[in-house]
A and B are shown apart, each in its own frame.
Chain A
Amino acid sequence: MFSQIFKATLETLYMLLLSGFLATLFGIPLGVGLYLCSRSRRLKTLYALLDLLVNIFRSIPFIILVLLLIPVTKNVMGTIIGPNAAIFNLTIAAIPFMARLSENSFNAVPSGIIDSSNSMGLNKWQMVTRVLIPETLPDQIGNITVLLINLVTYTAIAGAVGAGGLGQLAINYGYYRFQWDVVLYAVIVLVAISQLLQFTGGKLAKGLRK
């Protein structure tokens, strides 16, 4: 039984970290895009569109999103079950979430810092890479922490529809066979992962704040 829990834990971690990584990789640039569009008179309509899209994706419950995505997942990943299919779903759900969180952090950069950067003649690219990202780094670490903790829950939900990992383990043993000890262990591991993420993220962000 413990080897199964161990295997499921590894699957969960794999889904969590890879989807978290991909969501950050695409979500932050989308957040930058949202931020820049919202501040440009010319791109106001593009912003309205992106904003709506992000809101729509964020308001669809994850389990429904997985159902809606079935044809796409099948096309892109070649399968709709297993960790890799789940990673696709998790990433799609997490990108808009991460984009919104990072957009909020960019908006919170004091306007004076933006002014003084502009007064030095920075171009857009330098503005993003040398000012917006560095000035929000501790906040972005916090955002990634929140994202990952949310993804822990999502992986468990994904487990119910065949993704594998601790969620599926709990469903299989608890829901179908009433082996509550397995459910308990799965829950303990999930809580431990969340705690560890919170602790590490908090420490990292604190270390970066001056």
Chain B
Amino acid sequence: MILSVDRLNLSFEDKSGRRKILDDVSFSIEEGEIVGIVGLSGAGKTSLLRTLNLLQPVDSGSIMFDGQNIVGLNESKVRSIRKKIGVVFQSYNLFRYRTVYQNIAFPLRIQGISRGEIRERVMSIVSELGLEHRLSAYPSQLSGGEQQRAAIARALVMDPKLILLDEPTSALDPRTTGRLLDLVVNLNERRRVTFAVVTHDMDVIKRTCDRVAYLQNGKLHFFGPTHEFFVKIENNEVSDFGSPLELERSVLSGQKRLLRVLFWGERTHEPVLWEIAREFDIMINILYGKIEELKNGPFGTMIIAIDGHKQDQFIEKLRDSVFFLEEVR
């Protein structure tokens, strides 16, 4: 475990009094995983991210990082902790009067690392991120995607144990978003970089996250594997992220028994349904089906109508073979 947060509370004072921003939030991040911190705007995601590297002091709670509680450490200890955590802010925050090269080299220069080594480390990162041709440009001359990558490079160059990304795709077009997500997954797989990603973008969750922490008005409503988060969405327990499919009444009216089946992992692509249906001689009518490619495996949703004599046995056997099954009617 690289980071674990226990009963974190944070409130801000404003005109209308004290407002609770984080309410007893607990979760953890394992080494080498990507955790998504998701929720609507104003849910407290950025505030949570800022507490993780102590930019935002908390009211109470503990943050264990690398084996020690980092809440309440003195300033010089805090500084050394921060050097191990890279942050890419939503607004990138590149230094305005430094070139891309100087921006990326900056965290190394302040540590007094030799110019030769700095050059080597910067060059290896910029070639990985495709920024070689922009090294002498200033931030104001870069596109949003390039600024984003420069900010990621600046975070990566320190070889941090953990990188915090705040809404990394909110300002990017779909193609640039795709490239960025590939990059994150790639860095995670090849360099074993651990990420915490704040987002409200479903694509980011699907393609990058191993686990999801779902915040609603400062409370953690869910923390668990990504596919379980999708189950929650399908079960209509998370309304912030689109609603599950509503089938047309006209389609439903003629049908007998309706089942909603969720598949996850290897089994998604196996003909489970077909095999069991044949065994019990059940007729299946597929009314709806989709498969999402999540990072840790495919996730399928299906709504089927069934007909036949051994319906109960069929349902029982199917329930054991799929991730989730419920009778809709």
Q: B94-130 CB contact bits vs A (8 Å, 1 = yes)?
A: 0111100000001100100000000000000000000
Which residue of chain B has its CB nearest to the CB of A119?
B87
Chain A: interface size category? 20 to 34
Segment with Cβ contacts to A, from B9-17, B77-85, B170-178, B257-265: B77-85
Q: Inside 8 A of A209's CB, which chain B residues have their CB?
A: 97
Considering the chains assembled together, what is the distance between the CA atoms of A145 and B53 in angstroms?
A: 40
Compute how far the CA of A115 lies from the CA of B158 in the bound complex, rounded to whole angstroms.
17
Is there an interface contact between B93 and A116, defined as CB atoms closer than 8 Å? Answer: yes
Q: Could you name 7 residue pairs across A and B whose Cβ atoms are closer than 8 Å?
A: A113-B95, A119-B53, A120-B82, A123-B76, A126-B110, A130-B110, A210-B141
B91 within 8 A of A: yes
Query: Chain A binding site: helix, strand, loop or mixed by DSSP?
Result: helix
CB contacts (< 8 Å) of B141 on chain A: these are 210
Asked if A46 is at the interface (CB within 8 A of a chain B CB), the reply is no
Is B55 part of the binding interface, using a Cβ–Cβ cutoff of 8 Å? yes
Check B138–A210 contact: CB distance below 8 A. Answer: yes
Which of A120, A123, A137 is B106 in contact with, Cβ under 8 Å?
A120
A residues near B, CB below 8 A?
110, 112-113, 115-116, 118-123, 126, 130-131, 134-135, 137-138, 208-210
Structural contact, B79 and A115, CB atoms closer than 8 A: no
Query: Are B106 and A135 in touch, CB under 8 angstroms?
Result: no
Least CB distance, B144 to chain A, in whole angstroms: 15
- A210 proximity list for chain B (CB < 8 A): 96-97, 138-141
Name A110's contact: one of B85, B93, B158 (CB within 8 Å). Answer: B93
User: Given known contacts A112-B89, A115-B55, A210-B140, is B95 in contact with A120 (CB within 8 Å)?
Assistant: no
| Closest chain B residue to A112, Cβ basis | B93
Size bracket, chain B contacts: 20 to 34
Q: A134 to chain B: which residues have CB within 8 Å? A: 95, 97-98
Q: How far is the CB of B23 from chain A (nearest CB, A)?
A: 24
Residues of chain A within 8 A (CB-CB) of B50 are: 115
**A145 vs B195: C-alpha distance when bound (angstroms):** 47
Shortest CB-to-CB span from B329 to chain A, Å, is: 52
**Docked complex Cα distance between A46 and B139 (Å):** 37
For A135, the chain B residues whose CB sits under 8 A away are: 95-97
- Least CB distance, B91 to chain A, in whole angstroms: 5
* A112 / chain B contacts, CB cutoff of 8 Å: 89, 91-93
Q: Which residues of B contact A110 (CB under 8 A)?
A: 91, 93
Q: Which of A126, A131, A138 contacts B95 (CB 8 A)?
A: A131
Task: For A138, list chain B residues within 8 Å (CB).
Answer: 97
Q: Which residues of A contact B55 (CB under 8 A)?
A: 115, 118-119
A134 to B110, CA, bound (A): 14
Docked pose: A123 CA to B80 CA in angstroms: 10
Cβ contact within 8 Å between B98 and A120: no
Q: How far is the CB of B261 from chain A (nearest CB, A)?
A: 45
B82 touches A121 (CB 8 A): yes
Restricting to B15-65, which residues have a CB under 8 Å from any CB of A?
Answer: 50, 53, 55
With a cutoff of 8 Å between Cβ atoms, the chain A residues found around residue B140 in the complex are: 210
Q: How far apart are the CA atoms of A116 and B141 in the complex, in Å?
A: 20
Residues B82 and A118 in contact, CB atoms below 8 Å apart: yes
